[in-house]
């Protein structure tokens, strides 16, 4: 018999890492007969399975007021404490109602007990989990001690209580080995590692017309070569390095496209990037349309485009992040068989690089060697094919849905015993018309090969 699983976070909408990874988890659960429900302050999920509470969003005016008075401060005043507990009480009522209304059997807290972007929500969740004794997975994508912005705060008592809480009915899940070690060292809490994953057992399906429409929607010409930066516009993504790379490649047909909108951490960095690109004479394109989460199949999203339209048209991917908990964009590039430049951030060096991927790499700056490596990859279809095929095989072994299913099976058995069936691969073969769309992608490949020959003649 399937379980009712409740996901809780500040938002499940768009293409941030928490939203995407929760969608993949839900995909695995639902293919095995479980039902997933959603509690957040912003949702693009099926309305019949959603419980929207605007006060839960980290950008809600009450929460912004609290954060302004507790982050970067060493002490808080009684009115701030009263407001925190007032919001906590409200959200606790809503959480209990969510659990009762949908008959939730298992709660999954997606980063809401990890990083204190919404302190009242963390407190409300902790008390609700303690009161109901509901089986809970606390899925941690990043912790407050990993971010400078939380290093000085006036809520250290609440951080010790709820970020994360140490309760017997919570199974803690982290996405990298450093997080596992630091969590144990700082709190005494044990955890298991489940890395970010993708369905490598089932390659992505493409719609050629959708890809063409997407190119036209952002003003690209047929012979443009696209370097894609598939991340949010926040400073830790190191997007200025992508600009420097394009400048050094000295190829006028190359366009640098950023797939996500700015706003999560303000707009100042985005404006600086525009000026920086202009100074370096780099054609920078910020996509003005919303990109959908491709794992949300309910039709409730406001965008007609998803990653399935974005990645296929790219010639090369840049991922020069300074810090990542894991790196969704890295896996997505491998999944869509795209060559990638990656900065050797700490988690990559420790957890991903030892798997032996074939990549263009940088070590904190764009060197002449890095530029030459990228240039050779862009010039040679044979080099590119060997690279992407090899990387796909490596990722299938280490970051496929089977890894997620195996770990979740252990957790579900711990919570519910042998009364629950193990998760298995329930993927169905796509219909014939989908295969027709895949077959039509040979047009894209031929177009790319033509571009390669032009570039080779231009640089030889």
231 is a domain residue: yes
pLDDT of amino acid 451: 45
Q: Is residue 411 part of a domain?
A: no
Q: What is the CATH number of the domain that holds 108?
A: 3.40.50.2000
Q: What is the pLDDT along the chain (460 residues), one digit of tens a residue?
A: 799 999 999 999 987 889 989 999 999 999 999 999 999 999 999 999 999 999 999 999 999 999 999 999 999 999 999 999 999 999 999 999 999 999 999 999 999 999 999 999 999 999 999 999 999 999 999 999 999 899 999 999 999 999 999 999 999 999 999 999 999 999 999 999 999 999 999 888 776 776 777 777 777 887 889 999 988 888 989 999 999 999 999 998 999 998 876 666 668 898 999 999 999 999 998 875 566 666 665 444 455 566 667 788 889 999 999 988 888 889 999 999 999 999 999 999 999 999 999 999 999 999 999 999 999 999 999 999 999 999 999 999 999 999 999 999 999 999 999 888 888 887 654 443 333 343 444 444 444 444 444 344 344 3
| Together in a domain, 106 and 147 | yes
pLDDT at 128: 98
137 with 282, same domain: the answer is no
Domain presence at residue 368: yes
In this structure, the answer to whether residues 258 and 146 fall within a common structural domain is no
Question: Domain end: 159, 193, 227, which one?
Answer: 193
Question: How buried is 161 (Cβ within 10 angstroms: 0-12 exposed, 13-18 middle, 19+ buried)?
Answer: middle
Provide the pLDDT for residue 87: 98
Claim to verify: residue 100 and residue 229 sit in the same structural domain: no
The residues near 171 (Cβ < 8 Å, ≥ 6 apart) are 135, 136, 137, 138, 192, 411, 414, 415
Domain total in the chain: 2
Residues 329 and 220 occupy one common structural domain:
yes
- Burial degree of 326 (CB within 10 A; 0-12, 13-18, 19+): buried
Question: DSSP secondary structure string, 20-32?
Answer: HHHHHHHHHHHHT
Residue 40 counted as domain residue:
yes
In a domain, 287, yes or no: yes
What is the pTM assigned to this prediction? 0.83
Alpha-carbon distances of 339 from 60, 208, 255, 398, rounded to whole Å: 39, 20, 16, 18
At residue 217, the pLDDT reads: 74
Same structural domain for residues 49 and 124?
yes
C-alpha closest to that of 171 among 107, 104, 100: 107
Single out the residue in 193, 219, 243 at which a domain terminates. 193
Residue 198 lies in a domain: no
Q: Are 187 and 278 found together in one domain?
A: no
- Please tell me whether residues 295 and 342 are part of one structural domain: yes
Q: What is the pLDDT of residue 267?
A: 84
Q: Which domain holds residue 148?
A: 4-193
Query: DSSP state, 18?
Result: H
User: Do residues 156 and 234 share a domain?
Assistant: no
Structure confidence at residue 307 (pLDDT): 64
The verdict on 246 and 148 lying in the same domain is: no
CA atoms of 384 and 377, how far apart (whole Å) = 6
What pLDDT shows up at residue 287? Answer: 74
Residue 366 lies in a domain: yes
**Within this chain, do residues 296 and 237 fall inside the same structural domain, yes or no?**
yes
With a CB cutoff of 8 Å and minimum separation 6, the contacts of 287 are 218, 257, 258, 259, 260, 261, 310
Q: Are residues 349 and 221 in the same domain?
A: yes
Would you call 29 exposed, middle or buried from its count of C-beta atoms within 10 A (0-12, 13-18, 19+)?
A: buried
Which pair of tokens denotes residue 271? 């404006």
CB 31 within 8 A of CB 404: no
For residue 417, being part of any structural domain is answered with no
Answer for the pair 72, 152: CB distance below 8 angstroms, yes or no: yes
């Amino acid at each position: 018999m399937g379980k009712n699983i409740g996901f809780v976070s500040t938002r499940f909408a768009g293409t941030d890492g928490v939203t995407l990874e929760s969608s993949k988890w839900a995909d695995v659960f639902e293919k095995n007969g479980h039902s997933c429900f959603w509690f957040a302050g912003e949702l693009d999920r099926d309305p019949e399975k959603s419980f929207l509470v605007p006060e839960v969003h980290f950008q809600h005016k009450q929460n912004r007021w609290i954060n302004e008075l507790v982050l970067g401060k060493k002490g808080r005043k009684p009115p701030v404490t009263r407001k925190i507990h007032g919001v906590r009480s409200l959200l606790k009522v809503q959480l209990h109602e969510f659990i009762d209304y949908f008959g939730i059997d298992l709660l999954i807290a997606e980063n809401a007990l990890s990083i204190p972007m919404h302190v009242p929500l963390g407190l409300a969740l902790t008390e609700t989990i303690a009161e109901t004794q509901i089986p809970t997975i606390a899925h941690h994508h990043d912790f407050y001690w990993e971010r400078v912005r939380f290093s000085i705060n006036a809520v250290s008592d609440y951080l010790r209580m709820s970020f994360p809480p140490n309760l017997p009915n919570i199974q803690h899940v982290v996405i990298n080995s450093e997080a596992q070690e630091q969590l144990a060292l700082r709190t005494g809490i044990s955890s298991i590692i489940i890395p970010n994953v993708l369905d490598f057992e089932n390659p992505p399906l493409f719609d050629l017309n959708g890809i063409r429409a997407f190119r036209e929607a952002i003003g690209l010409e047929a012979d443009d070569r696209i370097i894609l930066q598939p991340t949010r516009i926040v400073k830790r993504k190191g997007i200025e390095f992508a600009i420097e790379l394009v400048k050094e490649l000295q190829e006028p047909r190359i366009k640098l496209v950023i797939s996500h909108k700015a706003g999560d951490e303000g707009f100042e960095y985005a404006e600086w990037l525009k000026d920086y690109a202009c100074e370096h004479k780099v054609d920078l394109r910020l996509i003005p349309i919303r990109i959908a989460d491709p794992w949300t199949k309910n039709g409730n999203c406001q965008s007609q485009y998803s990653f399935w339209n974005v990645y296929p048209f790219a010639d090369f991917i840049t991922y020069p992040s300074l810090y990542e908990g894991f790196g969704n964009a890295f896996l997505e590039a491998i999944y869509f068989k795209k060559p990638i430049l990656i900065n050797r951030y700490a988690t990559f060096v420790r957890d991903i690089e030892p798997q032996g991927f074939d990549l263009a790499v940088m070590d904190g700056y764009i060197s002449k060697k890095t530029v030459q490596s990228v240039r050779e990859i862009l010039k040679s279809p044979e080099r590119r094919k060997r690279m992407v095929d090899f990387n796909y095989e490596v990722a299938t072994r280490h970051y496929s849905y089977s890894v997620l299913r195996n770990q979740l099976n252990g957790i579900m058995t711990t919570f519910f015993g042998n009364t629950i069936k193990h998760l298995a691969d329930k993927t169905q073969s796509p219909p014939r018309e989908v295969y027709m769309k895949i077959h039509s992608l040979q047009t894209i490949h031929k177009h790319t090969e033509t571009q390669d020959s032009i570039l080779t003649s231009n640089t030889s």
